[in-house]
Structure 1
Amino acid sequence: MIPLSILELARVTQDGDIRAALDRARDVAVHAEQWGFERIWIAEHHNFAGIASAATSLAIAHIAAGTNNIRVGAGGIMLPNHAPYIIAEQFGTLASLYPGRIDLGLGRAPGTDQATVRALRRTPGSDDRFPQDVLELQAWLAPSQPDQTIQAIPGAGTEVPLWILGSSLFGAQLAAELGLPYAFASHFAPAALIPALESYRTRFKPSAQLAKPHAMVGVNIIAADTDAEARRLATTQQMSFTNMIRGTRGLSQPPIDDIETYWSPAEKAHVQQMMSVSIHGGPETVRAGIEALVARTGADELIVVSDIYEHAARLRSLEIMAG
Structure 2
Amino acid sequence: MTAFSLLDLVPVVQGGTVPQALANAADLAAHAERIGFQRYWVAEHHGMEGIASAATAVVIAHVAQATRTIRVGAGGIMLPNHSPLQIAEAFGTLDALFPGRIDLGLGRAPGSDQRVAAAIRRNLDSDGNEFPRDVMELQSYFADDGRTGIRATPGAGADVKLWILGSSTFGAQLAAALGLPYAFASHFAPGMLDEAIAVYRRNFRPSEALAKPHLMLGFNVFAADSDEEGAYLASSQQQAFVALRTTGTGVRLPPPVRGYREGLGTQGNAMLDHVLSASAIGGPAKIRREIEAFLERTQADELMLTSAMYDHQARKRSLEIAAEAMRAVEPA
TM category (shorter chain) comes to over 0.9
1:314 is aligned to: 315
Matches within 5 A, 1:28-43: 28-43=28-43
1:188 is aligned to: 188
2:207 is aligned to: 207
3-state SS, counterpart of residue 48 of structure 1 = coil
Counterpart CA distance in 2 for 1:104 and 1:110 is: 16
Q: Which amino acid aligns with 1:49?
A: E
Residues 7 and 305, structure 2, Cα contact 8 Å, conserved in 1? yes
2:157 is aligned to: 157
Residues 169 and 196, structure 1, Cα contact 8 Å, conserved in 2? yes
3-state SS, counterpart of residue 77 of structure 1 = strand
3-state SS, counterpart of residue 40 of structure 2 = strand
Counterpart CA distance in 2 for 1:20 and 1:284 is: 32
Matches within 5 A, 1:102-117: 102-117=102-117
Q: Shift in Å at residue 300 of structure 1?
A: 0.1
2:73 is aligned to: 73
Question: Could you give the per-residue CA deviations for residues 138-182 of structure 1, whole angstroms, max 9, x where no partner exists?
Answer: 10111354x975211000001411100001010000000000000
Residues 43 and 77, structure 1, Cα contact 8 Å, conserved in 2? yes
Q: Shift in Å at residue 111 of structure 1?
A: 0.5
Matches within 5 A, 1:1-323: 1-121=1-121, 122-145=123-146, 150-247=150-247, 248-260=249-261, 263-323=264-324
Residues 239 and 262, structure 1, Cα contact 8 Å, conserved in 2? no
Q: Shift in Å at residue 192 of structure 1?
A: 0.7
Q: Shift in Å at residue 41 of structure 1?
A: 0.4
Counterpart CA distance in 2 for 1:106 and 1:150 is: 21
Residues 176 and 205, structure 1, Cα contact 8 Å, conserved in 2? yes
Per mean C-alpha deviation after superposition, the further-off stretch among 133-142 and 241-250 is 241-250
Counterpart CA distance in 1 for 2:207 and 2:263 is: 49
Counterpart CA distance in 2 for 1:262 and 1:49 is: 26
TM-score computed with the length of structure 1 as normaliser: 0.97
Residues 183 and 218, structure 1, Cα contact 8 Å, conserved in 2? yes
Residues 220 and 279, structure 1, Cα contact 8 Å, conserved in 2? yes
Q: Which amino acid aligns with 2:128?
A: D
Distance 1:149 1:165, change over 3 A: closer
Residues 144 and 151, structure 2, Cα contact 8 Å, conserved in 1? no
Question: Could you give the per-residue CA deviations for residues 240-295 of structure 1, whole angstroms, max 9, x where no partner exists?
Answer: 00000121421110100111466332122112211111100111111111111111
Question: Could you give the per-residue CA deviations for residues 63-109 of structure 1, whole angstroms, max 9, x where no partner exists?
Answer: 00000000000000000110000000000000000001000000000
3-state SS, counterpart of residue 73 of structure 1 = strand
Distance 1:262 1:57, change over 3 A: farther
Distance 1:81 1:256, change over 3 A: same
Question: Could you give the per-residue CA deviations for residues 45-73 of structure 1, whole angstroms, max 9, x where no partner exists?
Answer: 00000000000000000000000000000
3-state SS, counterpart of residue 120 of structure 1 = helix
Residues 242 and 263, structure 1, Cα contact 8 Å, conserved in 2? no
Residues 175 and 200, structure 2, Cα contact 8 Å, conserved in 1? yes
Counterpart CA distance in 2 for 1:175 and 1:108 is: 13
Per mean C-alpha deviation after superposition, the further-off stretch among 252-261 and 14-23 is 252-261
Q: Which runs of 5+ in 2 are unaligned?
A: 325-332
3-state SS, counterpart of residue 111 of structure 1 = coil
Q: Shift in Å at residue 308 of structure 1?
A: 0.7
Residues 200 and 213, structure 1, Cα contact 8 Å, conserved in 2? yes
Q: Which amino acid aligns with 2:181?
A: P
Q: Which runs of 5+ in 1 are unaligned?
A: none
Q: Which amino acid aligns with 1:6?
A: L
Residues 243 and 249, structure 1, Cα contact 8 Å, conserved in 2? yes
